Amino acid sequence: MFGRIFHMLLKEFLEVKRDKWERFRLLVPPLIQKVLFGYAATFEVYHVSTAVLDLDHSQESREMVSRFTGNGRFDVEALPSSSQAMRGLIDRSKITVGIRINPQFGELLRKGQTAPLQVIVDGTNSNTALLALDYVGQIAARFSSDYQRDYMNRIFPEYQVMLPSAKMEERPWYNPDLDSQWFFVPGLVGSIALMTIVNVTSFAIVREREIGTLEQIMVTPIRPIEFILGKTVPFFVLGLIEVALVAVAGALWFGVPFRGNPLVMLLGTSLFLISSLAVGLLISTTCRTQQQAFASGFFYLTPAFTLSGFAFPISSMPTVMQWITYLDPLRYYLVVLRGTFLKGTGLAILWPQMVAMAILGVAMFAVSVARFEKSLD
């Protein structure tokens, strides 16, 4: 048995060695994807195109406008002269945020009254709109606080030191600068590994069937389980190498710290790869051509990515979808990756994720093996 498996392993590694395109596809695209997605995937919003309609032209209104021009979040690209002109800019998608400062803005502030500030947001991209509104709220609140302090200092300087105040001190753990790349980069390790392993596993077996060598192999004394191990173990080893390369590249290029135990990450990666290999094997048993395998892989990978919690919070999904996420191995692996990278957590905390991936991996692999043996009959 082990001799036949060894020869299958040797055959697969020799094929990878001879196929330059296969080696390129396994190593280079994941690294390129790591860099591209690492920069492109972010929750932060910068340089929001903004128009300011100042109908007051007071010192206070100019001070408010200056708060939007020097923080990097907003780019004031237009100063329309009327509300109709600003609406036209939004309708033509020239700007995302429109700020209207009403007449008597400065006069109301000098009288100690509330001066309204109108903010118009293009809600086509709801995520950008919500973040922009939050940034505008922070700028307006900071301006209001500074103006109140200066106002009290001018009117009642003797009471300035007596005014009580509450100040929030932020202490973010594990990600002090709240850098979204620290959240996305570890997640990309799992997402890229899933895409690569599922595709290469499903294509490898389908290719054997497509060119007619699968039938030739199966008429030999080799058993189906030996053939499956011979086909999947090489990709398991290549998956470990790919995860290591992508993880090291992410840590060095983006400066994401790795605070955990490498052995814990190795265990989690191994369990996750077993599930990924099982998915690829299951796809290969249901497809006859590589085109079918590609379409089936895409059909699985898109929901797996969406339901994993990589970019969309699972807690915000409908209850039914939250239950479905428990069948997604990537959901558990992302917890392991972010826990080992950022928090330095160990098996004492991550064992539920490990057990879940082990159960899913064994169950999916058993179904895949049974389906493969049935497809040979």
- Give me the residue label for tokens 């800019």: 89
Give the separation between CA 182 and CA 123, rounded to whole angstroms: 28
The residue extents of the domains of the chain are 2-41+183-376, 48-162
Structure confidence at residue 351 (pLDDT) = 93
Q: State the greatest distance between any 2 C-alpha atoms of the chain, in Å, as a whole number.
A: 98
Residue (of 181, 180, 191) closest to 309 by Cα position: 191
Helix (H) or strand (E) holding 249: helix 224-254
The per-residue pLDDT for 350 is 93
Supply the pLDDT for residue 200. 81
Identify the pLDDT of residue 2: 56
Structure confidence at residue 358 (pLDDT): 92
The 10 Å CB-count burial string (b at 16+, else e) for 240-254 is: eebbebbbebbbeeb
Provide the pLDDT for residue 219.
63
Contacts of 220 (CB under 8 A, 6+ apart): none
How crowded is residue 75: how many other Cβ atoms within 10 Å of its Cβ? 16
Which regions of the chain are under pLDDT 70? 1-19, 22-23, 26, 156-166, 211-222, 224, 372-377
What pLDDT shows up at residue 110?
Answer: 84
Q: Note the pLDDT of residue 5.
A: 59
**Cβ–Cβ < 8 Å for 179, 257:** no
Report whether CATH 3.90.420.10 matches the domain 48-162: no
| 187 contacts 338 by C-beta, under 8 angstroms | yes
